[in-house]
Amino acid sequence: MSLSVFLGGDENRIAYPAAYAILDECAVKAGLRQRIRLRIIPGSGLDGTVSSPFSIYLTEPVLKLKNPQVIRYFIAHELIHIKYWDYLKNIYLHIDYDKFCALRILCEFRADMEGLQLASITGNDIKTVHDIAENPLERADKITCYESGYPERSQRIYYSQKYKDFDVNLFDDVLFDFCFEMKIGKPSVFLRSVKRSFR
Ligand SMILES: [Zn+2]
């Protein structure tokens, strides 16, 4: 029995060759050497996730989009989560919930910004892609989004256009706003703690 049989088939490579071409191209560009598979998660909305270094998970409606740039955005975004092992930060969910939310929001901005670069999406196309990709869940107000560890879609567009790279200025900008909205006591202590845990 081959290892691929043991680990499960790669039938989506045949079913979605265009998406796989994007996945392979972006994975190489991101410096990821392992073989990464595309898995389908149930859902009628546009969504993606990652829980290991070997697979990205997208809903079928993402793969059926007419706009290939948006498919590129979803794939590149998830690959950046793999690149930085972002799913491991879920451990903070059980240790410090505010910190978990702040880390996840920062990871989202980084996956967006570096993902857009990886997918070569720039300028006005950034807004177009986000407008199509919007998850109805993210249409909640900012505090509701923050409390679930996600930024608002409008923030994703704003920061992706305001900053050229995911840098320390963006990091502080995001965290100061998070502390203010979430009424974090001793924000400077919180900031230092988040900074230490963010990789
Ligand atoms: Zn993400």
Q: How far is the CA of 2 from the centre of ligand 1 (A)?
A: 32
Q: What is the pLDDT of residues 19-47, one digit of tens each?
A: 999 999 999 999 999 999 999 999 889 99
- Give me the residues near ligand 1 (ion), CB cutoff below 5 Å: 108, 111
Single pTM value for the model: 0.91
Contact 118, 76 (CB under 8 A): yes
- DSSP reduced 3-state for 128: helix
Which domains does the chain show, CATH number per domain?
3-86 (3.30.2010.10), 89-197 (no CATH)
Determine the Cα–Cα distance for residues 9 and 98; give it in Å rounded to an integer. Answer: 39
Phi, psi of 42, deg, nearest 5: -65, 150
Q: How far is the CA of 108 from the centre of ligand 1 (A)?
A: 5
Q: pLDDT-derived band of residue 164, with 50, 70 and 90 as boundaries?
A: confident
Q: How far is the CA of 70 from the centre of ligand 1 (A)?
A: 14
Q: How far is the CA of 189 from the centre of ligand 1 (A)?
A: 26
Q: How far is the CA of 112 from the centre of ligand 1 (A)?
A: 7
